Amino acid sequence: MSINACRSALAGAALILSSAVAAVADVPKVAVDIAPVQSLVARVMQGLGAPEQIVRQGASPHGYALRPSEARNLTEADAVFWIGPALEPWLERSIDTLAPDAVVVRLLDVPGTTVLEFRQGAQFVAHEDEGHDDDHEGHDHSGSDPHGWLDPENGKLWLNSVADELAKLDPDNADVYAANASAGKSEIDAAAAQIRQDLAPIANLRFVVFHDAYQYFEARFDLAALGAISAGDASDPGPARIEAVRGIIRDGRVDCVFSEPEFNQSFVETVIEGTEVKAAIIDPLGSQIAPGPEFYPALLRAVSDELVGCAK
Ligand SMILES: [Zn+2]
């Protein structure tokens, strides 16, 4: 191609680019906390834009330090969607100071959201056994369990909430947000139906998880973890809690113990040491799944697959 032809091709491309930019110029800039929320918001914004994620993939949101680029995402945001201080107590002040004028939505507070209380102790006891808390360490972990994204009904509800909030900021695209949310809900329903089928044969799987992050998934799909090595805030377990989990395993009542890529494996190795119990990986944040609109239903399916895989 001659230099002139090349120039005019470039000019044409620039023209197309600038008109595309004009069409999305009013689309709000959005910041989100974790990948599941990024996915839900990306689904609502599909075709118009995508939100910036603050907590990088593979890191635990329970304890985190903002990098400058992540802080900048907050500064530039017109809207911030995040789970809330129950998951990220460190993020609340950053949002207040860095994004004082942004529309801020705490998803656990969206009306209609299913919010469960933290479970107590290392061993999750059935209701009829309550009162026997002898292997409980006495720490008070009371409060809301923040892992609500693992309930697909919450995911669907939040799609609506995101679409409503973005429509207020960007009324011209309200129809797009609503249509995307509606399509996203159908995709989640399809994933949930598949999961229900896949999990039916393993309804009695006896498993222990690394941290107490799965009760929304368990409640929605009729499973029940026997216990967790670490509490729902992912704090390091004390010796009494480790011993309680080893007790569950020694009793021979456990099929698998799940570790998580976001956390140190050593606690899992400690509790299964000298036993035959199977160790596997489960990931409530889908660190191996490509981010974007399709991430959220893929995450639900991956959690289901991880449970099914361990049952084999
Ligand atoms: Zn967690």
259 domain-assigned: yes
Would 44 be classed as within a structural domain?
A: yes
Comparing CA positions, the residue from 188, 165, 191 lying closest to residue 45 is 165
Neighbours of 57 (CB within 10 A): 18
Q: Which residues surround ligand 1, an ion (CB under 5 A)?
A: 213, 234
Number of domains making up the chain: 1
- Would residue 69 count as lying in a domain? yes
Q: How far apart are CA 310 and CA 257, in angstroms?
A: 9
- Cα(233) to ligand 1 centroid in Å equals 6
213 alpha carbon – ligand 1 mean position (Å): 5
- What CATH code is carried by the domain that includes residue 86? 3.40.50.1980
Residue 59, φ and ψ in degrees, nearest 5: -100, 155
> Can you give the pLDDT of all 312 residues of the chain as single tens digits?
455 555 555 555 555 554 454 455 689 999 999 999 999 999 999 999 999 999 999 899 999 999 999 999 999 999 999 999 999 999 999 999 999 999 999 999 999 999 999 888 888 865 434 433 433 343 344 589 999 999 999 999 999 999 999 999 999 999 999 999 999 999 999 999 999 999 999 999 999 999 999 999 999 999 999 999 999 888 899 999 999 999 999 887 799 999 998 888 888 998 998 888 989 999 999 999 999 999 999 999 999 999 999 988
Ligand 1 mean position to 149 CA, how many Å?
11
Q: Is residue 10 part of a domain?
A: no
Digit-coded pLDDT (tens) for 32-57: 999 999 999 999 999 999 999 999 99
Residue 228 lies inside a defined structural domain of this protein: yes
- Going from the Cα of 234 to the center of ligand 1, the distance in angstroms, rounded, reads 6
pLDDT digits (tens, 9 = 90+) for 184-213: 999 999 999 999 999 999 999 999 999 999
pLDDT tens profile 253-285: 799 999 998 888 888 998 998 888 989 999 999
Domain containing 73 equals 26-312
Compute the half-sphere exposure of residue 120: CA atoms within 13 Å on the CB side of its CA: 17
Decide if 21 is inside a domain.
no
Report the separation in Å between the CA atom of 239 and the middle of ligand 1, taken as the mean of its atom positions: 20
pTM tops 0.85: yes
**Residues contacting residue 50 through CB under 8 Å, at least 6 positions apart:** 38, 41, 42, 292
Within-domain flag for 180? yes
266 CA → ligand 1 middle, Å: 17
SS3 181: helix
DSSP structure class, residue 123: B
Cα of 63 from ligand 1 centre, angstroms: 10
In a domain, residue 179? The reply is yes
